[in-house]
């Protein structure tokens, strides 16, 4: 898939949101869960997706009395997990925790993708992943987005680190170039750790990524957050958002997310029960502390809120990643 219209996307997403009832008795739906639940986590142990899966899974276990097992199936931007999860019975006993890339952008970035996010899954709950800070390197002297743009216009060459081609950070660089007439070059890293190391060392001029990974650079003074995506963060309250500082692209208002999904066909009663559990779990002290460590302020969304956000924002994500002109790998 290289292009998709907003109308086409909303139509397919609406069809995917309908949850047909088959293969499960009304009594089984009412009693769910009556046996252990498996969570397939699409990314490696120790990362945000894994920790969200385990922490929410622990709440489900404590609340329902059923054992919850988390299996990490990392690879291909969550595709390995998605392929396994789509093959599971749609009975509420196999859940997938993954991110917006798996559910949206992979259809543009991966050639011959082996799953269809809209047809194969029902999104139960979106857990917003938090705003991402844009950090200017110490050598720029920038304290605001305007000051960084002024620096970029004067410099002969500007390199901005991203955590991967086709990532939100990559899109943000492209949109800043468009709006401000810049020629910043996106330097793609395989993950955030080497990116922040290079920013601290002065090898790149700026970087865009997660709060938790950027924290050491921010605390050392080798980099300064000059803007954040979407909205202000409780962990960086004095740093205004891109939109507050005059950016016009809708990209800067999008919600990157963690999410829980189940195979299409899972009975609606089970989806609603699971959604309620996740919303409740998101308000517990353990989950709130985990969120704080990642700079996340918004808790798990209800099924209805999830469907609304997905239908509104996914077409914008797709248009933005398609406009980067990347060849599917």
| Cα within 13 Å of Cα(113), Cβ side | 27
Asked if 119 and 103 touch (Cβ cutoff 8 Å), the reply is no
DSSP 139-165: GG--SSHHHHHHHHHHSS--EEEESST
Confidence of residue 26 (pLDDT cuts 50, 70, 90): low
pLDDT at 14 over 80: no
What span, in angstroms and rounded, lies between the C-alpha atoms of 47 and 110? 22
What lies within 8 Å, CB to CB, of 80 at 6+ separation is: 42, 73, 74
Whether the per-residue pLDDT at 7 is higher than 60: the answer is no
Answer whether residue 294 shows pLDDT above 50. Answer: yes
Burial of 244 (0-12, 13-18, 19+ CB in 10 A): middle
What's the pLDDT score for residue 18?
45
Residue 19 has pLDDT above 60, yes or no: no
Q: Tell me the pLDDT tens digit for each residue of 221-235.
A: 999 999 999 999 999
User: Judging by DSSP bridges, how do beta strands 121-128 and 257-263 pair with one another?
Assistant: antiparallel
Percent of the chain beyond pLDDT 90? 89
Alpha helices (H) in 155-233, listed in sequence order: 168-180, 193-200, 211-220
Can you give the pTM of this predicted structure? 0.88
The stretches of the chain forming alpha helices (DSSP H) are 6-17, 26-31, 48-64, 79-86, 100, 106-109, 117-120, 145-154, 168-180, 193-200, 211-220, 268-281, 285-293, 303-323
Judged by DSSP in three states, 319 sits in helix
CA distance 316 to 295: 24
Using alpha carbons, select from 88, 83, 54, 87 the residue that is nearest to residue 71. Answer: 54
Q: Does residue 11 register a pLDDT over 80?
A: no
Instruction: Please state, for a pLDDT cut of 70, what percent of the chain lies above it.
Output: 91
**Relative orientation angle of helices 268-281 and 48-64, to the nearest 10 degrees:** 110
Q: How far apart, in whole angstroms, are the C-alpha atoms of residue 9 and residue 173?
A: 25
**Confidence bin at 191 (pLDDT 50/70/90):** confident
Q: Is the pLDDT of residue 323 over 70?
A: yes
Helix (H, G, I), strand (E, B) or coil at 180: helix
- Find the mean pLDDT for residues 313-325: 96
What's the whole-number mean pLDDT along residues 243-254? Answer: 97
pLDDT in tens, 149-188: 999 999 999 999 999 999 999 999 999 999 999 999 999 9
Per-residue pLDDT band for 21 (boundaries 50, 70, 90) equals very low
Among 67, 72, 57, 70, which Cα is nearest to 33's? 67
Residue 83 has pLDDT above 60, yes or no: yes
Query: Taking all residues of the chain, what is their mean pLDDT, rounded to a whole number?
Result: 92
The H or E element spanning position 126 is: strand 121-128
Give the Cα separation of 167 and 190 in Å (integer): 11
**The dihedral formed by the CA atoms of 131, 132, 137 and 138, expressed in degrees to the nearest 10:** 30
pLDDT at 90 over 80: yes
Q: What is the pLDDT of residue 295?
A: 94
Q: Is the pLDDT of residue 22 over 60?
A: no
Identify the pLDDT of residue 289. Answer: 96
């Amino acid at each position: 898939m290289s292009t998709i219209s907003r109308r086409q996307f909303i139509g397919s997403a609406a069809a995917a949101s309908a949850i047909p009832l088959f293969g499960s008795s009304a009594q089984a739906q009412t009693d769910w869960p009556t046996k252990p639940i498996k969570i397939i986590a699409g990314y490696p142990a120790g990362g945000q997706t894994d920790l969200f899966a385990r922490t929410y899974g622990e709440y489900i276990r404590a609340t329902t009395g059923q054992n919850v097992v988390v299996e990490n199936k990392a690879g291909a931007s969550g595709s390995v997990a998605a392929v396994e999860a789509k093959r599971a019975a749609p009975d509420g006993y196999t859940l997938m925790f993954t991110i917006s890339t798996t559910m949206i952008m992979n259809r543009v970035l991966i050639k011959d993708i082996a799953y269809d996010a809209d047809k194969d899954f029902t999104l139960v709950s979106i857990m917003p992943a938090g705003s991402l800070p844009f950090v200017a390197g110490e050598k720029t002297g920038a304290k605001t987005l305007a000051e960084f743009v002024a620096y970029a216009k004067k410099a002969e060459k500007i390199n901005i680190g991203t955590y991967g081609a086709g990532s939100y950070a990559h899109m943000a660089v492209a949109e800043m170039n468009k709006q401000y007439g810049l020629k910043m070059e996106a330097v793609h890293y395989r993950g955030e750790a080497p990116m922040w190391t290079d920013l601290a060392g002065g090898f790149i001029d700026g970087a865009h990524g997660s709060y938790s990974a950027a924290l050491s650079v921010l605390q050392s003074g080798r980099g300064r957050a000059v803007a954040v995506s979407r909205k202000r963060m409780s962990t960086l309250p004095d740093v205004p958002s891109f939109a507050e500082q005059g950016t016009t692209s809708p990209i800067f208002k999008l919600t990157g997310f963690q999410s829980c999904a189940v195979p299409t066909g899972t009975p609606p009663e089970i989806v609603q029960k699971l959604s309620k559990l996740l919303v409740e779990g998101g308000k517990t002290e353990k989950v709130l502390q985990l969120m704080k460590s990642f700079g996340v302020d918004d808790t798990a969304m209800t099924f209805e809120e999830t469907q609304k956000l997905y239908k509104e924002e996914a077409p914008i994500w797709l248009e933005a990643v398609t406009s980067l002109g990347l060849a599917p790998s």
